[in-house]
Amino acid sequence: MTLKDELEQALQTLKKNEQYRQIPTLAHDGRYVVYQGKRLLNIASNDYLGLGSDSSLQRAFFEQMDQLADTHYPKMSATSSRLLTGDDTQLQALEFEMQAWYQTAVCQEDVSNSPSSPSSPSSPSSPSNLSRPKSVLVFNSGYHANIGILPALTALPIKTLVLADKLVHASIIDGLRLSQNKTVGYRRYRHNDYAHLARLIEQADDDIRRIIIVTESVFSMDGDRADLQQLVQIKAQDARIELYVDEAHAIGVLGETGLGLAEETQTLGQINYLVGTFGKAFASVGAYIMCDEIIKRWLVNHMRSFIFSTALPPINHAWTRFVLAKMPSLTPARTHLALLSTELSEAIALKYSTSAVSSAYTSPIVPYILGDNARTLTKAQQLQAAGFYALPIRPPTVPANSARIRLVMNAKLTYDDCERLIQQL
């Protein structure tokens, strides 16, 4: 049997198990996609605020760019890595503005958490814990970030234990695998099970000098949240602990100014490594980390996915800055998104759950779990026939027997759209 024969046999096995992936041929039309000749309402994208389909916003951006002199118009390509000639004023300004965004939010957090504040939460906070400034480093994508940050952070020959939530994204898992060496090990704690996490910390060998807890703030497939306040409390009990939080699905969506779940829960100042992406609610491309200045300098010297990648085009950074300037004012869109998402999640819970239905908003990601691969594929086809672009998510992306339709709300949808969708479930 030739290599091609073996590859074809393996692909046929994927098809038999309803796990075969194909790239869909799509055209985009505002809130809709055109797929197989049909115009379908897009409920599969991570464009949570609907900015990616907002043509008027894009026109306003290009009009702003057209006011620049030719010598200042952002280039279409960086043509090299940042350590060569790929750095530019747009990227430098983006990092500065992201840092200012963080600092404004964390200063407000420090005021709220001060002992004299009547609204001060019960989570650990004292003048000695008030937040230090963070630096920002921008990357090409969330995948570049997660496969590069953890290996760089664990490059020092220090006995380190990394403890990651069971349901963290594949990019984090790949980063964990690349981090393993003679002084670094990792374990996974059960999803959002902090009692299990505490036991793993207690079981850590005495010679472990660092413990890095890794979690997403909003989980990409289940749409549920990590309890950041509880993680901060766990961190406060052991000086070896550092927190790494990926806000990919919360940035732009949660928090008073859209800075994510850490802003909403007032835990910004207690998180060591705050990671996020621009490719979802920001409707742009790229990723970032907010961290101490010395960590930024360490990453610049040791993070291989940063060092050896051509930087993103300056025009992309200019667009990200344009969106960033509007992000704190998008509270009405975030509120509408929360109401739509809650309505959909409550409808699914009422239909399939025998337990009490919670009206608490978690995220725009609403999993419609059907379990069986074939049943999930059939349901996705039914939704598409009804005018909705909904996609099946199957193992290994999600655990076995948990295939689902990943329903994603965005702020451009209407209540009528949501009601029509609910009627099709």
Q: Pairing state of beta strands 135-139 and 287-291?
A: antiparallel
**Quick one: average pLDDT of 77-104?**
97
Q: Per-residue pLDDT tens for 153-197?
A: 999 999 999 999 999 999 999 999 999 988 999 999 999 999 999
The mean-pLDDT minimum among 17-26, 74-83, 255-264, 282-291 falls in 17-26
> Can you give the pLDDT at residue 249?
98
What mean pLDDT comes out for the span 67-81?
A: 94
Average of per-residue pLDDT values in the chain? 93
Evaluate if residue 343 carries a pLDDT over 90.
yes
pLDDT band of 127, cuts 50, 70, 90: very low
Q: What is residue 350's predicted lDDT score, i.e. its pLDDT?
A: 85
Residue-level pLDDT at 339 = 97
How is 80-149 classified by DSSP, letter by letter?
Answer: S-IIIII--HHHHHHHHHHHHHHHHHHHHHHHHHSTT-TT--SSS--GGGPPPP-EEEEES-HHHHHHHH
